[in-house]
Amino acid sequence: MYSFALQLVLGIIILVVSTRVLIRLAVKISAFLKISPLIIGTTVVALGTSLPELAVSTVASARQDVGLAISIVGIVAGGVLVVTSVEGISSLTGYSTT
C-alpha cells in the first residue's frame, strides 16, 4: 500500500519537474530558431503524445501483430488533430500565431 502511494507521489513530482524543463527548453528552441512558440508547442505536444504509440507500433510490427501495428494510423491522425485544433482554437480566441 505504501509502496504504491510512494510511487504515485514520485511519479507526479517527476512529471511536474520534467514538464517545467520541457517548457523551458521549448521556449529556448523557439527563440533560437526564431519560430513562434505556438508552433514549437504544438510540435512538442504532437510528438509527446505520439511517441508512446509509436513505440507500441514498432514493437507490434516487429512481432508481426497486425492488431497493434495498425495503431500507426492513430498516431498520424492524432498528430494532425493536435496541430489543427490548437491552430484553430488559437485563431478563434484571437491569439496570433505569427
Q: What are phi and psi of 14, to 5 degrees?
A: -65, -40
Do 28 and 63 share a domain, yes or no? no
Domain coverage including residue 11: 1-34
In the numeric block, which cell numbers belong to residue 30?
523557439
**pLDDT beneath 50, residues of the chain:** none
Do 63 and 24 share a domain, yes or no? no
Can you give the pLDDT at residue 75? 66
CB 78 within 8 A of CB 46: yes
CB atoms near residue 96 (< 10 Å): 8
Can you give the pLDDT at residue 70? 63
Do 29 and 51 share a domain, yes or no? no
Do 8 and 48 share a domain, yes or no? no
Residues 57 and 51: their CA atoms lie apart, in Å, by 10
4: left (phi over 0), alpha (psi -120 to 50) or beta: alpha
